[in-house]
Structure formats: structure tokens, C-alpha cells
Chain A
Amino acid sequence: MNQIFIDEVTAALNTAVEAGTLTGWSLNATESHSLQKLYSSPDGTALHCHQSRRVDGDAFKLSVYIPSKTEGMVGTSMIDLVTYLPIDAQLAEAVSLAGCSQNKKWDLAKPPAAEPAAVETCDPVVRDHPEGAAADIEAQFTAAFAETAGCALNSAELFVNYSISAQTNSEGLAYETELSELYLEAAMEKAGQENDKEVHEYTTSLTVADLNVKGFVEECALQVATLGDSAEPATQDGASILIEKNALSQMLEALLSQLNCLNEYLKLPFLNIGGTFGGGGGDPLELSLDPAIPRMVLSSGYAIDGLPAKGGTLIENNTVKNRIIGNRFGQYLGLEPNGLSGNLVVQPGTLGPADLQGREYTEIIKFSSLLIDPQKLTWSSEIKLGKHVAADGNVTLVKGGVVSGSLKENFTDCRLSSTVGTVNIPKSSYAPPRGYRGPDAMLITKGVSIAGK
């Protein structure tokens, strides 16, 4: 970490507070290192690296707060500080920008009375020996792929990332977080034939051990084995579908936004304590947050606004028991900030293989692009790959068509699997991190339409 720069910035910020130019500030400094490898496979079996990169970088995000001429208000701005421009000039720019944005005043998070317990979010091997970690994963992949039968490898990608962040503010809050992230992607298809279908999957984790390379390759190979002739799904305005944990976690992530008091302040749809979501005769929805699960992307001692992170129940038996009350918007709404944050945890249900027998449904193996509207709580996607299972057990591979749904109805009379799984996806330029532990699958019987042939 560029401590000299951080110290200079901090000194300048404190001077500005003493002078009354600023009422407060918060600074997030991050140092990151990344190893990125892209592979082709000219012979369909071995990895050939065609692009290898090393990336080192620093980033400094500063928020400043300035006095307002209006009582109860504060000027705010957020800027990226850079090391190649004078600090004073950048702070002057931040103050000038803050004059353009007036918001209700709020108190920044203060240091906690007791330091929150540390959570494991970094693999020391990734931090200290990224080249070794990459070579290990590459070797695991090669060995696992050699054990597959009938698969041709098209391409793969491997990212080994490490970052350390220091969060400080004018109230004396100061803490560091370390994060290691691994991303492994593979594209493969049936060997020895002209194909029109490919399996393209990725897996992510915080540690080399949790990446489970062998399991990932085996799952891809299993999908490859199922590829074959497919049909467009039939049009159905009341379909039953079986979805897997990744799609389920995306749906619950959308629901989570309505359990955050931010939505209430922004005048967007929200669920209040005592309200209900779904229900009926299926498995009940039991949803909570947990920031202390080791090696999960949303685990942290602190919530995003600097409050000590806390876990807790949000929905119990389809009834809202609590909401996420953040530091800023909780104060705006006159609610006590609660620090609720972390990974989504959902209690398993009762659905097992026997429950699916004699039932007609479409299993969505993969959505093409599942777009969920967190305000309307609706969703729609083409089916990239699925299986239609008739009541007599006859299975047809399906592809194409459009499946759409409404979450409020989807969680009515639904069945959640008795087995549990994990989704652990670091943030990308497209999406925030998603950590989930809960049912592997969900059978939806209400609020789903399929458009097809």
C-alpha cells in the first residue's frame, strides 16, 4: 500500500476539517495484484496460453462532506484521488464538486467499542505466491480434463486476484480487509463431431482449495454428455420449472433490495416488517444474512457503511421480520442502523428426487441471460439449455424460447430442495459480489410463462 500518499492525503484532509472547509471525509485505499491467463486448446485437450498478464495497481476513493448554507444539509462529493496530480488541487476539486450536491446531513460511522471478529477472506497462497497458485490450478485442470471422456476443450480463462483495502474516516474509523479471488472458466463440447452446442461455465472462490477444479471439470463434462438434439419448448402460460442455486440466488438478491430501507427513502417499492412474501402450501422461505462464513465473498467484520457487520433473520416463514437499516438512510428515516449485512442464507426445504416423479416440469439447466427487475420483481430470459420432463418421465432437451416469471407468485407454493449448495461470486464490472448458502434447487409452480413453438 502506498502509505506515504495515504498519510499525505490524511494530513491534508484533517487540516481541512480543522479549518472548517470540510465537515468530514472517508477514504478507501486499495492495492491490487492480478495474474490473468487466457488459453486456447488447438488439439482440444491441452491448455495453450495465448495471453498472460500481470497487473499491479493502487486506487484511492475519497468522499468529502462540506458545510451547507442550508440548516440540516451537507454538500457531498466522491472522487478518485490519483498519485500523479497534486493532492491540494484534487481536494479543492472535491470541495468544489461537493458544492453542487446538497443532501440531508448524517453522522459517519464511528469506531466500534470492540473490534469485530476477523473473518477469513484471503488465501495466503494467492497473496504470496500467485504464480504458484496459477500453476497449481492449471495442473489440476489438466489432470481433471484428462479424466473426462468424450469432451473437446475449446478455451479456458484463469484469473488469480489479490487486494488489500484500508478504510478510514474523519471519525477515527480505521480497518483493513484482505481479499483473494479466483476465477476459472472453461468452454467445451462433444469431441469428434461437428457441434452446435457448447458448455461454457465458470467457477469462482476465495481460496485454491474451494475452487474445486476437479469437481468443476466433472460438472462441465457431465453437461457435455447431456448435449444432443433439442427442441424449442412449447408455449405454456402456467408452467412448472426447476431452477438451480445460481438463478435462485439472483432472485433472492433482487428481493433483498426491497428489504433495504434505502428503497423506502428513494421511494421505490419495499417490503416492511410484518409484510409477507410468497407462502402457500409449499416450503416456507426462511432468509437471513451471515457476514461471518469463512471464505465467502460477502463475509466481513464491517458492513459497507462502516458499521460492525451483523447477521440476522430477514424473512421467517414468508413474513418479513427485519430489514437492512444502513447508517445513512436509517438516520434519514429515523430508524436505528443495524449493520445487517453478509451472505444470503436460506434454509433448505423438503424437495427430493422422489417429489419430481410423475410431475411435468421444465428444468432450466442454463438461462441465456436472466434479467431480474428488482423493483417489479419480474424476470425473463431465453432458455440456453433445459430439459422438459413429461409426467411419464420422458425427457426432451429444450433450447430457445423465452421463460418469464413474477417472484411474488414464484415463491408461493414453491418447493425448495433438501440439499444445500453455495454460490460465491466476487464482484465484477457488471455485478456486485454474490454470496449464497441455501437450497440447490427450487421447483416453481406459479407465475411462470414459457413462449416457444
Chain B
Amino acid sequence: MSNKYYPLSDELRAFFPVLSKLVRTMESGAEDKIYSFAVLEDLDQFQSHVSQTEASGLTMDRGIVLRILAGHRNFEYASNNFDEAFLVSAASTLRAEALAYCEQLENPPVYTPPAWTDEPIDSFAAPIREQILVDGKLPQADTIVHFGSAYDPAVSESMNKAETAARSKAIKESIMEKGAGKLASAGCMIRRKAKSRLFVDRTRMMSQTLFSSLYYIYAVTPSGKNVRDIIGGMTGAEAGAGIDDALISNLVETADKVEHAERIKPGRYRIITGPDVTGVIAHEAFGHTQEGDTCRLGRSCAPGLKKKEIKVGNEQASIINNAGVFAMGTIPYGVNGTHFFDDEGFIARPQVILDKGELSSPMNDLMSSIVGDINGPSPRQSNGKRESWKRPLMPRQTNTYFTAGDKTLDELAELCGDGFIAEHAHGGMEDPKGMGLTAGTEYLEEVKNGKRTGKLFLGPQGGHIELSDPVPRLLESIIAKSVIAEEDPMNENGSEPINKWGGCGKYHKESVEAGCGGPWILWSGITCG
């Protein structure tokens, strides 16, 4: 495998001078009052979906966001009209609004952005560091820095739409062939996305292109039970290399088992969660609760608990948020929560949000970092994200995951005794104020006398199963965790735990990409229904 970083097209690169001009229009001569930046977002996505019908589509979207921070208020204008005179006029209007607002304030705080020389370059993940430094030197404010995610250009399917469409058809047909007599329907959706962002403020000009692939394969039983595999990564078609006969046979076999599955009785059970469900718990537990806006708006219990130094989990309860996941387990790429810099131009860096049950400061965007919560302002993080240029920005999670332990999955099963394994996630929800948590799983696999039996169970009414508990109780109930990869038990590769492809709609809207994961975790008891 010979990886290369995804390049920035010349057509997009040509926008840098316009963006610089817009920043100058917004703040030139008023830098002692306001701070501004300009962002261009570009989405180029191909999708092929084959089931009983066939669909090929191209999703293209591009927009510019102009931002001025004045005091503790963000003023934004966004459009997909790229006429320069129009945009300059919009920038002037925004400047007038922001300065008029400033006039009403007494001694408004003024934000000064970090220069390249202020950045902790040595602590950045290697793919970030390597693409910042040119001949070992830091860039200047007017040097264009481009970050691209890595992919293998030798895998032809990555750039070939016809080949991709043929692959999705072949996968769907293979599922139906292997599931003959057992399945009503099947399908395969492949999505290839290049998402670029150009960012310009007074200290830097940079861009990133995140190239990712998603393979969504599913089998539907005669009674409508749907079993799926979601395989994705921030890379090219190599993300789908593992979709082989064995994986498809396993999908079909699982669908057949689910079709005939028994139902659990509602109650509390010992549970082992796989990386998918582990990740949803991490994301919902002290993920949303540690988001900067939730904290500063008085909508989270976390600042109060931190102030009183109350622990919310046991020694095993450690959670990290990290946009800079570029390898996980034995997989040499990250997932869709990975980025090089966020929507406000802040470079990715890991943050321990829960350390052996102790809370850290929140995951901040720019506004939350300067306003702060009841514990005062706290460091800015790379968590300023938006659904698209059309939507507002908020502190959002990137990749959220539990740290690893020292057990194998078999050892966890032995420790479990009698219980269930929850491997495939099915949604989740948080209650940052009330510390409630729910994480769904498609089905449960039985563990009896310390061994996996392969027998599957559905919820009490035949549907998916929700795992729910108050967060502190849940985080106190971790018995043991698995290693990152059993092939590398000491993690000599220095990899992060497995993160799964995912998305997040904060409360109920504003959809963003978010990976989540961690090791296999054994919990002493979770309410299941």
C-alpha cells in the first residue's frame, strides 16, 4: 500500500485570494475591536445504492461563511453566490453590524487568534505535523497549508464511479445468492465523499480535504427484520476491502438468526459492549455533557460536578475526544469524526474529557472557550462544527472513545458468566442536565457460563433493545475492558481504539459527522428493554 495525501484542486485553491480580501474587508483597521474569518466549504460526493432498484447520484454543494466575533456575539453571513462584488458587499454589511454592536458594549473582550508559532506543533498527530511543516519550517501567515487525508491511489475503485456502482451491485447480488430462501430483500450502498474546507483569517491560510468511503450493506428477512453492516473509513475504497464472502455469509446467517430470535425479558443484565455500542455510550455519557455550549448555558451537570470535585465513574471510566484519529486498532486510517482543523480553523488535538471518573474542562468552540462556564474560561479545542454552511456552529464531538484495558474478548466473556453481548449500535440519546443515558443495540448475543453461545435475542416486544441507566451508575459499573487489538496486545503501534462510522444530531437536529468507539467493555449491569 502506497498512500498519498488527497490534494486540493486548483479550482478550489483559486478561492484563497477572495477569502483573504473578504477577511480584510471585515476587519481591516478594526482588529482591536473584532476578529473575523472566511471559510469556503465544498462537498463532492458520489453514491450508488442497489436494492430492488438501482440509484446513482452526485451530491455537490459549496458555500462561503463570513464570520465576525464582536464581544461575546458571532455575526455570520453565508451564501453560495460566489460573485466577488456581492461577497465584498456582504462582508461590509456584516462589518457595519458588528461594529455597531461593539459600540454598545463597555470594554468588549477582543480575541487574538494564535499564529503558527503559537501552535504546539510537536504534540500534533503525525499526519497534521507533516503537512504543516515545509522543509521542517513553520509556514507564514500568507503560506497556503493544505491537509489531505491519506488514501491508496492504486485502488482504482476509489476514483471510478462505474466500478463503484458495479461493486455495489455485486455485493447486493452476493447477499441475495447466499441468502436464497432466507431473505426477502438485500441492498448495498457505497458513498465516496471528498469534503474540502478553505479557512482564512489574519494569521493563516489553510485547507483540508477529507476523503472518505462508506459501505452500508443490509439483509431483510421475510418478516422485515433488517440486519446491517456499516463499514467506513477516512480513506478510499480500501475501506471496503474486508467485504468478502465470509462477511456476507455472516450477515446472512445473522439475519436468519434474528428472524428466529427469542425476546429478552425486560430487566437488568450483565452486558459486554462492542466498540460500536461502547462508542455510543462514550458519546452520550460525558460526551454531550462536556460540550462547551451545554456547559456555559447552564444546561449540563458537568461544571457543577467538576466544581465540587465529584467523581462520576470508577478507575476504568476514561473517555477521550480526539479529531486527530488517523489509525485505530490495526486499521491504518480514521473514520468520519476525524479532521485536521475544525470549522473555526482550530487544529485537532486530543482531549481527555473524563479521566478515571474525574471531569476535565469542556470540549470548546471559540465562543465557549472565551465565555466559559461556572468554572471560568477554559482552553479552546477543535470542536467548533456545523452541519453545513447553511447551519449555525456549535461545540460538537469529533471522535469520542473509551480508553483500552488489558483483557481479550474471551476473557471478558469468562468474567461475564451469564449475560449478553451488545455489538451493533442502534441510536442513542443524552440528558446532560439529568445525567440520563440510552444507547440502542440491534440485538443481543447470549453469553452463558462464560462462553458466547451465538444465540441472538431481540427486545421484549420484538424490536431493538435500549440499554439505559443514569450515567454515574453506568460508569461505576465497568468491570473490565479489552485491549485495543488482540494482535498487538501491548499496542506497540501506538494506535487509538477502534472508532466506528457515525453521526450526531445534537438533541434532535444539526446533523454532523462523529466517530465513536473504544474497546469491548464488561458492565456489571445495565437496564435493557
Contacts and interface: CB of A to CB of B under 8 A. Distances in A.
Given A237-B265, A404-B266, A51 B465 contact: no
A224 to B, nearest CB: 12
Contacts of A428: 508-509
Contacts of B426: 371
Contacts of A41: 297
Contacts of A330: none
A350 interface: no
Given A267-B184, A382-B466, A80 B223 contact: no
Contact of B48 (A93, A101, A197): A101
Interface stretch (B79-87, B119-127, B194-202): B79-87
A371 B185 CA distance: 22
A99 B164 CA distance: 13
B228 interface: no
B4 interface: no
Nearest to A452: B527
B434 A429 contact: no
B463 A368 contact: no
A34 interface: yes
Interface string A388-414: 000000000001111111100100000
Nearest to B75: A52
Contacts of B224: 268-269, 373, 375-376
A405 B263 CA distance: 12
A293 interface: no
B459 A100 contact: no
Nearest to A199: B433
B440 A376 contact: no
Given A58-B80, A402-B468, A77 B63 contact: no
B297 A451 contact: no
A405 B72 contact: no
Nearest to A155: B297
B268 to A, nearest CB: 8
A55 B390 contact: yes
Nearest to A80: B60
Interface string A214-255: 000000000000000000100111000000000000000000
B1 interface: no
Interface stretch (B49-57, B322-330, B397-405, B515-523): B49-57
A369 B54 contact: no
Contacts of A267: 52, 184-185, 220
Given A375-B226, A404-B463, A78 B301 contact: no
A101 B185 contact: no
Contacts of B367: 50-51
Contact of B78 (A54, A232, A404): A54
A36 B52 contact: no
A52 B67 CA distance: 10
Contact of B465 (A85, A380, A450): A380
Interface string B407-443: 0000000000000000000111101011111101000
B374 to A, nearest CB: 11
Contacts of B299: 154-155, 187, 198, 200
Nearest to B301: A196
Contacts of B80: 56-58, 83
Contacts of A235: 266-267
B165 interface: yes
Interface in B212-236: 220, 223-226
A335 interface: no
A400 B53 contact: no
A158 B143 CA distance: 39
Given A57-B79, A401-B529, A80 B220 contact: no
A200 B63 CA distance: 31
Most chain B beta-carbon contacts within 10 A, residue among A78, A99, A376, A452: A376
B528 interface: yes
B387 interface: yes
Contacts of B61: 80, 82
A40 B297 contact: yes
Contacts of A405: 461
Contact of A379 (B79, B267, B463): B463
Contacts of B436: 368, 382, 384, 399-400
Given A155-B297, A196-B301, A189 B77 contact: no
B309 to A, nearest CB: 16
Contact of B433 (A189, A369, A447): A189
Contacts of B48: 100-101
Contacts of A80: 58-61
A79 interface: yes
A62 to B, nearest CB: 10
Nearest to B430: A368
B507 interface: yes
Contacts of B46: 97
B390 A57 contact: yes
A237 B390 contact: no
B76 A54 contact: yes
A382 B527 CA distance: 10
Contacts of A79: 57-60
Contacts of A98: 56
Most chain B beta-carbon contacts within 10 A, residue among A40, A399, A448: A40
A195 B299 CA distance: 10
A113 interface: no
A402 B266 contact: yes
Contacts of B184: 267-268
B427 A402 contact: no
A368 B468 CA distance: 10
B53 to A, nearest CB: 5
Most chain A beta-carbon contacts within 10 A, residue among B61, B465, B510, B529: B529
B469 interface: yes
Given A97-B57, A268-B220, A55 B528 contact: no
Nearest to A85: B60
A399 B466 CA distance: 15
A96 interface: yes
Contact of A404 (B58, B428, B460): B460
Interface in A407-451: 409, 428-430, 447-451
B431 A368 contact: yes
B203 interface: no
Given A55-B79, A402-B266, A451-B528, A266 B52 contact: yes
B98 to A, nearest CB: 10
A267 B470 CA distance: 40
Contact of A195 (B223, B293, B433): B433
B528 A402 contact: yes
Contact of A97 (B78, B161, B392): B161
Interface string A333-349: 00000000000000000
A369 B267 CA distance: 19
B296 interface: yes
Contacts of B463: 373, 376, 378-380, 404, 406
A236 B461 CA distance: 12
A69 interface: no
A76 interface: yes
Contacts of A449: 266, 459-461, 529
Interface string A43-74: 00000011111111110000000000000000
Interface string B14-56: 0000000000000000000000000000000010101111111
B55 A429 contact: no
Contact of B438 (A77, A268, A381): A381
A96 B161 contact: yes
A94 interface: yes
B304 interface: yes
5 contacts: A100-B166, A187-B299, A196-B435, A197-B434, A428-B508
Question: Nearest 9 CB-CB pairs, A to B?
Answer: A378-B463, A451-B529, A402-B529, A451-B266, A375-B224, A369-B429, A100-B165, A382-B438, A449-B460
Given A78-B56, A267-B220, 5 more contacts: A56-B79, A76-B55, A78-B55, A198-B434, A380-B464
